[in-house]
Structure 1
Amino acid sequence: MVSNGAGPTNSDAPVTVSVNHAEKPDKFNGLDFKRWQHKLLFYLITLNLARFLIEEVPALKEGEQNAESVSAVEAWNHSNFLCRNYGLNGLADALYNVFCEKKTAKELWESLDRKYKTEDAGAIKFLVSRFLDFKMLDSKPVISQVQELQLIFHDIHAEGMTLSESFQVAAIIEKLPSAWKDFKNYLKHK
């Protein structure tokens, strides 16, 4: 039986993989973790496996050794195996070797999250530095330089930092090249 993922899920039933799933994301090589994580999460959602990133391993309670509960735990273990291995196979070989000892999809996901989300804090500092060091040059077209600065603003926003529109406008005016000095002064006093 194939599920399209639209209906409610029964946690005791084995997970069925959707036929129309998204394209597998590129392998993660240690760079741009948030983007890769988002793509892998979407991929796992299309495969109806994302819940294994947050669920604990089910355990059989004493006296609960009936065929139905044993079957449910086996189904969970199989689906977790798929989810974990989709995650591991989404890693570059060097990272695969580091994280392959993780026993569950949840353990793998949390381990990657801890390691690479903290490294993303360094990315924020790098973006702020890129913004502060950005200077427009007379030798390049102003429009392309403004677009480059807007990309930096976008990256800063994507990292969760907010810059008001008036700050962005003032920053662009301040970073105009020296040949635009008169226009820059006009805009400042407007």
Structure 2
Amino acid sequence: MATSETIPESGPVHPSGGTVYATPYVAPAHVSVGLGERPEKFNGKDFKRWQQKMLFYLTTLNLARFLQEDAPDLGENPDRQTVAAVDAWKHSDFLYKNYILNGLDNALYNVYSPMVNAKALWESLERKYKTEDVGSKKFVVSKFLDFKMVDSKIVISQVQEFQLILHDIHAEGMVLGESFQVAALIEKLPPTWKDFKNYLKHKRKEMKLEDLIVRLRIEEDNRQSEKKAVSSQFSIHVGDCWHWGFKPIVDKLEKQL
């Protein structure tokens, strides 16, 4: 809520150089915000998230309107009230600009500190980093489309890689329905899982992603158990061959494997 405030007759001179006159005006109410609510410093990554947090923070300080406002025009023969209004605007803009600058890490602070006002600073950050965000989205989508599982790696570890890609997609603000995620994961199973893939495709009951991952884990455990059993039987068979002196048979079996 705004509070009425009278500027003293001999107020301090603002850094902008304007003189403050004793004219009543409505000043923005200052809301006390805990340090814990101040956004972390922006270092050039995750601009969208930082921007949203900073915008909320500035809104609680009643300063967000300076994102869109230009400085009021004094005109040719300004009266005291007009001059006071312009100086009040410059004071608030000065605060806003420095809140944003203090939300940047040191390297970016040095780059953007020469900006003339808060609006120019905000727009410059948007032009630079929103463009990079678009490039980041294209990169994440490309990773999703190109991802394919291979037989030489454990399937569950590759499922975890797939989940990380999904997380990156969601972090970029893109939404993929769970049914689509399930279908995509099934489609990306490795070549030797072809029969199991077809089995999953023809299931009528829809699965959640979590349920599918559990099924894949069980299937992989079963395959590992079968592989160990076959390997054990082969070792016994090879031992018998060596015992009876059938080395050529052993060589032939090893080549087949």
Q: Is the 8 A contact 2:2 2:27 kept in 1?
A: no
Matched, 1:26 2:40: yes
1:35 aligns with 2:49: yes
- Return the alpha-carbon distance in structure 1 between the equivalents of residues 158 and 148 of structure 2: 9
Residues 109-118 or 71-80, more deviating: 71-80
Aligned to 2:68: 54
- The structure, 1 or 2, with the larger RCO (C-alpha pairs under 8 Å, 6+ apart) is 1
In the alignment, the residues of structure 1 paired with residue 47 and residue 145 of structure 2 have an alpha-carbon distance, to the nearest angstrom, of 24
Sort the Cα spacing of 1:26 and 1:160 in 2 relative to 1 into closer, same or farther, 3 A: closer
Pick the aligned partner of 2:84 from 71, 81, 84.
71
Mapped partners of 1:38, 1:148: distance in 2: 28
Greater CA drift, 174-183 or 104-113: 174-183
2:12 is matched with none
Give, in angstroms, the shift of residue 30 of structure 1.
1.0
Bigger CA drift: 162-171 or 74-83? 162-171
Q: How far apart, CA to CA, are the structure 1 residues paired with 2:63 and 2:144?
A: 39
The CA distance in 1 between the partners of 2:173 and 2:3, in whole Å, is: 33
The worse-fitting range, judged by mean Cα deviation, of 84-93 and 155-164 is: 155-164
Contact 1:15/1:48, CA 8 A, preserved across alignment = yes
Q: Which residue of 1 aligns with 2:185?
A: 172
SS for the counterpart of 2:27 is: coil
Gaps of 5+ in 2: 5-24, 204-257
Give unpaired runs (5+ residues) of structure 1: 1-6
Q: Give the distance between the partners of 1:177 and 1:70, measured in 2 at CA.
A: 72
Match of 1:153 in 2: 166
> Residue 129 of structure 1: CA displacement?
2.1
What secondary structure does 2:37 align onto?
coil
TM-score, normalised by the number of residues in structure 2: 0.61
2:219 corresponding residue in structure 1: none
Q: Could you tell me how far 1:32 is from its partner in structure 2? A: 1.2
**CA-CA distance at 1:176 after TM superposition:** 2.6
Residue aligning to 1:4: none
Q: Which moved further from structure 2: 55-64 or 176-185? A: 176-185
Aligned identity (percent) is 64
Structural RMSD (CA)? 2.7
Whether the 8 Å contact between 1:14 and 1:72 is mirrored in structure 2 is no
In the TM superposition, residue 41 of structure 1 has moved relative to its aligned partner by: 0.8
* Aligned pair partner of 2:95 in 51, 74, 82: 82
Structure 1 residues 110, 23: closer, same or farther in 2, change over 3 A?
A: same
Give the corresponding residue for 2:140. Answer: 127
Aligned-pair distance for 1:159?
3.4
Corresponding position of 1:94: 107
In structure 2, relative to structure 1, the CA distance for the partners of 1:24 and 1:85 (3 Å cut) is: same
For 1:25 and 1:103, locate their aligned partners in 2 and report how far apart those are by CA, in whole Å. 23
The CA deviation at 1:145 is: 5.0
Residue 15 of structure 1: CA displacement?
A: 2.4
| Alignment partners' CA distance in 1, 2:116 and 2:154 | 53
Match of 2:127 in 1: 114
* Contact 2:3–2:27, Cα closer than 8 Å, also in 1: no
